[in-house]
Structure 1
Amino acid sequence: MLELAILGFLYDTPLHGYELRKRITALTGHVRPVAESTLYPAIKRLEKAGMLARETRPGSVAAPRHVLTLTDAGRRELRRRLAHPERPEITDENRWFALLAFLRHLDDSDAQAGVLRRRLEFLEEPASFFYEGDRPLRAEELDDPFRRGILTVVRATSRAEVTWLRATLRSLGGGR
């Protein structure tokens, strides 16, 4: 998720590390804060792989800044990751949001629709956080108001997302 966010934000515009960290934190930080000790090694890995370039530019007030830009290889890698996300990018809500934040950079509407269909299929699978034996429990079946609350919120969120996914798929020409 971190590398995807780095590639996605740098696809938008060149950034220095501090600004990149702020943007990633705004996207994912409420769940997974981004520490410098995590971000900078990821930047170095991507730079070593030829996906990022570092350029020194004069600072507006202080010392010169190292600005990161995406290379052609980085653009290709971002589009590859967007077109062919791993299952956790589809099933994990936080990873899904990171993927969704940059899906517009995938120029192929059929490929975009394919990613959205995968998410829709996942959401349409019967699931619950709580089970009785092998049978998933519905919110109405729970005596515990807190667990019932979890399932009620998840159900409402899933319904809203399914509605959005279907409408977006129709607009991309890939709806059902």
Structure 2
Amino acid sequence: MLELSILGFLTEQPLHGYELKERIKALSGHVRPVSDGALYPAITRLVTAGKLDQHTEPGTSAAPRRMLSLTDKGREDLLERLRHPKQAEITDHVRFNTLLAFLRHLTDRREQAAVLRRRLEFLRTPASFFYAEGKPVRAEETGDLFREGMLRVARATGRAERAWLEEALAQLDQPG
């Protein structure tokens, strides 16, 4: 997801490393912080693969900054990642939000809708954080105030997300 975030933000505009890190941190850093030890090797991999271009610009009051921009190959990689997300990118809430942040870069509404349909299908599958005898435990069945709270919040969040997905799909399915 780090590479998807890098490609996604650089699709919007060239950035230097610190700006890119701040944007990624704003998107998912509260849940999954990004370290320099992860970010800069990912940038190097993408530059080496020809997906990013880098050049140095003078800093305003500091050392020169390494500016990053997306290449055509990087744009194609981003679009391919958006068209065909891995299953974990559909099932993991934070990863799915990263997909959503950049899904607008797919210009084909059918492709956008296909991604949303995969998420909706996942959310419609009965699940729980807790299981008894192989079956999901419902909030009211936990006998534990705190687990009940977790499950009730998850149920409300899931309900809201399913409603939004259905609304978004209705819009995407309209002609035009």
- TM-score past 0.5 threshold: yes
Q: Does 1:43 align with 2:43?
A: yes
Deviation by residue 1:84-140 (Cα, 9 ceiling, x = unmatched): 000000001111111110000111100000000000000000111111101111111
Residue 97 of structure 1 aligns with an amino acid whose one-letter code is: N
In the aligned structure 1, how far is the partner of 2:56 from the partner of 2:142? 59
In the aligned structure 1, how far is the partner of 2:39 from the partner of 2:7? 12
Residue 158 of structure 1 aligns with an amino acid whose one-letter code is: G
Aligned residues: 174
Q: Please name the residue that 2:76 is paired with.
A: 76
Q: Please name the residue that 1:145 is paired with.
A: 145
Gaps of 5+ in 1: none
In the aligned structure 2, how far is the partner of 1:107 from the partner of 1:101? 14
Q: Please name the residue that 1:60 is paired with.
A: 60
In the aligned structure 2, how far is the partner of 1:164 from the partner of 1:26? 22
Q: Please name the residue that 1:5 is paired with.
A: 5
In the aligned structure 2, how far is the partner of 1:93 from the partner of 1:40? 25
Alignment of 1:26-175 (within 5 A): 26-173=26-173
Gaps of 5+ in 2: none
User: CA-atom RMSD, angstroms?
Assistant: 0.8
What percent of counterpart residues are identical?
A: 61
Q: Does 1:20 align with 2:34?
A: no
List, as ranges, runs of 4+ consecutive aligned residues in structure 1 with deviation greater than 3 Å. Answer: none
In the aligned structure 1, how far is the partner of 2:84 from the partner of 2:45? 21
Report how far residue 57 of structure 1 moved. Answer: 1.4
